[in-house]
Structure 1
Amino acid sequence: MKKQIKNILGLLLTLCFAYTNAQERILNFDTKIKVEQSGIIKVLENITIKAERVQFLHGLLRTLPLTRKDNYGNNINVGYTIDYIKKDGIEEKYFTKESDGNWKIYIGNKDIDLATGIYVYQIAYSVPYQIGYFDDYDEIYWNVTGNEWQIPINKVSCELLLPKDSDAFLNIHSYTGYKGAKASEGSEKLNDHKTRAYFYANNLKSNQGLTVAASFPKGVVSPASALQKTASIYSKIKGTLWLTLFAIGMFIFYFLQWQKNGKDPKKKTIIAQFRPPFNWSPAIVGYVYNKGVNDKVYMASMVNTAIKGAIKLTSTVEKSLFTTKKLYEIVVLNTEVPHLSEEEKALFKPIAKKKKLLVSRTYYDVFAKAYTGWITSVTNQININSYYTSNTRKKIIGFLVLVNMGLFFVLLSNSSGYINYGFFIMLIGSSATTYWLSKKIEKIGMQILRAVLCFFVVIPTIFTYFASLFFKSWIEIAVQGFIFIAYIIYCINLGKYTIKGSEAIEKLEGFKLYLETAEKNKMNMLNPPELTPELFEELLPYAIALNVDVVWGKQFETLLETAKYNPEWYSGDDSYKTPERFISNLGDAVGASRVDPTPSRSSSSDGSSGSWNSGSSGGGSSGGGGGGGGGGGW
């Protein structure tokens, strides 16, 4: 029995060993790095793989990041020049692609399958601008393997050499493990004369790597050129520089557009008008003055309909144990009122079919029809575009210019690898949309336009913007916030009165001035109308439409109280004397009554190397410095 158990255990161990041995892995990752006096580094990677046709179908995939951090923490571009690539000592075919911020080298032939076995790949390449210049020393800080290999690495070794055989290193350090790890579980050593540095690590798991750092005296490598210094300064300030130019450009664009398309004609001196201009009804007055309809203008029409004797508004108070609720009711008095305006007739028509209506959702269909008919009548009587142009097309074009300029800013100021071909597609698409909209926007449905803009421009832009905030300084975020605020101000002020509209607004402002100052300035006016309860009633709907009902009501408080005013159009408390409260409460009730009471049914890489903080003094981490990336099979 014991013999059988031993045999079974032996078989299991054999199978486990066979499985482990059959796994694809990198058997040896040996790197030799020579620092040239010019600052260019020459890298030779000897990568020995065990291929089992799982990942390694055609050959080796090596990825290298296209950016790294400089001394200031800014992203700078990294360029690679391949000197040669070999497999088992013979030059091998390869092709490269840029993707996700990485430069991917596909070694092998896509038309030829790689047989199982052990292969040695040699990748020789050169990289400029990888030396860190500090006050007292210079340094190379290099991620040897990268931290994005999807397969384990048995052994890693790295040899560092300086330009001359007599050049010596000051300090060396290595880091192993996952990206960001501070541990130094490998080993490092210098030769007797400190002219060569050696680094070793064993049994790295997937996504673990080896990073090395070595400092040397200043003068070993040529100091940074003026171009390099300029590039470094530019790299430090490029985000703020391009953002400042972007902001200035947008402010100039918005100002010039406002000057051309949004600046109203010069206003004349406002003279008080005792009567509504052009014999307009309260609704038309409110529609033109407010550049659109709203609930308060609607209430002005309802009050005017009541004052003319078609309906009576009543209010009662319903009390319960814990609450007090005001209820409003509309009583139909006369279905044949000759002096109703067109929109008042449209409002009154559905209501006239009832004798009495509680202002509640019970009569949702009646109030909804009344409101819809009223809006249709108002907008049909007056072509608001002949009085006011909102310049919607200019606003949308302004937004698309903002998008385009923003994309240019991102492309010019950000080299972190998060910017890929998708940005170019968005740039081209939004440019084409800008041109197309400038020609066609007036001929298509605004609902379709909003949907298209939202899906293809607004949502991607907003997503991109908020995603990019993680890579920006607070200054950049603040300036971008000011740019968006500037756009909002631009949109608000881009609307413009026409010549006809300016003339109408001057008269409406004069009429509004009278409503605000009828009592105060009656001695300074030429032949003003006498302040009477009848005048209060007649002009109250206009005061409501122009949003000066509170001031209008206060001017008549004493007079109405003295006259013991008891209106025929309203019964209940005396809140009509303070129209703000009366209109607000009634408006809320009417607005709620229009709502239907029926419920409705209804693995990736960041493509960036680590920081250029000093790593030779022990302040680095695995994944820091230049180099890096990873790879696998393909």
Structure 2
Amino acid sequence: MRAGLSQAGLLLALLLTLLFGAAAGTAVAAEMIESYRSDIDLSRDGTVTVTEVITVNAEGREIRRGIFRDFPLFLQDANGRLQRVGFEVLSVARDGAPEEWHTETIEGGLRIFMGSSERLLSPGRHTYELTYRTDRQVRYFPDHEEFYWNVTGTGWIFPINRASAVVSLPPGVSATDTTVYTGRQGSREKNARIGSSATAPRFETIRPLGPREGLTIVIAVPKGSIAPPSRAQQRDWFLRDNLNLIIGFAGLAIVTLYYVWCWRRVGRDPPKGVVVPRWDAPDGLSPALVNYVHNRGFSGAGWEALSASFIELAVKGHVTLEDLDSRIVVRRTDRPLTETLPAGQAVLMRDLGGPGSTFVIDRDNGERVQTVARNFRSAIEKEHRGRYYRRNLGPVIGGALVSLLVLGVLLVFGNVHPDSVVALAVPAVGGVIWGRAAVSAARAFMRRRTLFLRLMAAIGFAIVGFIALSAAGFFAVSILDSIDNGEWPVFVSVGGLFLVNGLFFVLMGAPTPLGARLMAGIAGLELYLTLAERDRLNMAGAPKMSPQHFETLLPYAVALGVERPWSDAFNRWLATAAAGAAAYQPVWYHGGSIGDFGSGIGAFSSSMASSIASTIPQTSSSSSSGFSGGSSGGGGGGGGGGGW
């Protein structure tokens, strides 16, 4: 009996040992970075040479052929300007022997693959040694120079057991201040220790870093320790000769003439009907479709049209709207659908779900909000695309290709410094925005004039205004940053190319005859919604103001962006109405107080689109000092990596 029990006990112990051994083996077999050591040499001319020693445990899952290291090629300087940094791989080794490597361009940076695509890596521990050189990593402040460096990057997919960095400063230079950050991007945790050496500060984590966590260091040195770019260097970087002027302005003239020729052929608007005030939508268009036709496509990414549709569904009794200050809740009622809804509203009701279902508009629910909005826009565009407006994208694509050719010739044959390519985004974006603003201004102020005069006014407004802003902005930047003024032809010509493309992207489209007729009718509705009260009362056959009339046209006012004057008109009517009407509150709105019905609902509806748009996550970066506004993932360097 005892022998049987003893054998059973031995068998149980053996099984437990095997189980614990398997679990321990699984833990040991996890792929990770066991240690990440960075030896950094900061030279007096600002060049940084880095050797990263990365010891990994490979098990053939993510790490099959080797590892890769991502490195950003763009950095914000101390003034917040985005600049391209230099980067050169000097050597790659694995386990003490040279290793094959290659690079690929990724968004905003470079990816270094360490290993061979034709050879699998043996499982176990491997140590990689990557040495590279980079520049423009030093920040210059009035009272000190600063090396703000993201040692590991916050993009590694593996945990890092230990991370450390040693920075060798130039001879005779000592650090006046140091700090450190750890954790995910933007974290201000300080789970690391700093060594006492002032000439070679050492930083080391005191706890493991999880995936997407990193180590960031900041070192301040006395002013003048790191040589800033000299004036001669700046002139070499931004020097431009007459070739830039010839290529840039000749190319700009060619693109402009091409677009004018194409516009005369296909971009002219058909004759528009007479605009007279009316108190209903032409052809029974829905508020969303009114926005779509009036703006020749959805304005504001369709958020105004979506807001107007929700409000109309609420007025019809199919949903209620609840304003909780920080979010908006759309709740479906139990009212049955007895009528055929427009395409966009039908999709919204489908996506809302059955009676009692809710749809929350806030940042936490941003993904669903964007999905619903995308389905809403797609349904309307699928049914109506091309009926009211033709974009004439063929000539626009041709103009864009000619512009790219001019830009390529300018960059290849002109004397354009690589650092300036990033800065050219400023006039490029400004040109597009200013061009589209010019069209909007022309349409707003030149409606009673001929189409040709409207076109000439838009071009004149765009070119004169852009040149004035470019000249003022460029000379201001030149004075502040000692930039050679010989670079202005590049900025102006590139900005002009984007301006002309942005201008004719809008002008090249033209409404169909049906679209032109509906636009005239919509303009009449917009006119009615913004008329003064005395003018509205003098209109023969116009409905009298009432809560029902106000609510019926409120979605259209939101779609046209005139809910404020329409709400003000209703508020004035409420002030003189009977007590019962003056105390009226909409049954489809619940939540916090909205004050006077007219002004309150007007404010609510106008802010609804911005509330929806705010659900889209935004990204930001800081250009402040690493001491006053620093965080993990800030400064130069960084990136991350993984296995391949």
What interval of TM-score do these two structures reach, taking the shorter chain for normalisation?
Answer: 0.3 to 0.5
Q: Which has the larger radius of gyration?
A: 1
Name which structure has the greater RCO, CA cutoff 8 Å, separation 6+: 1
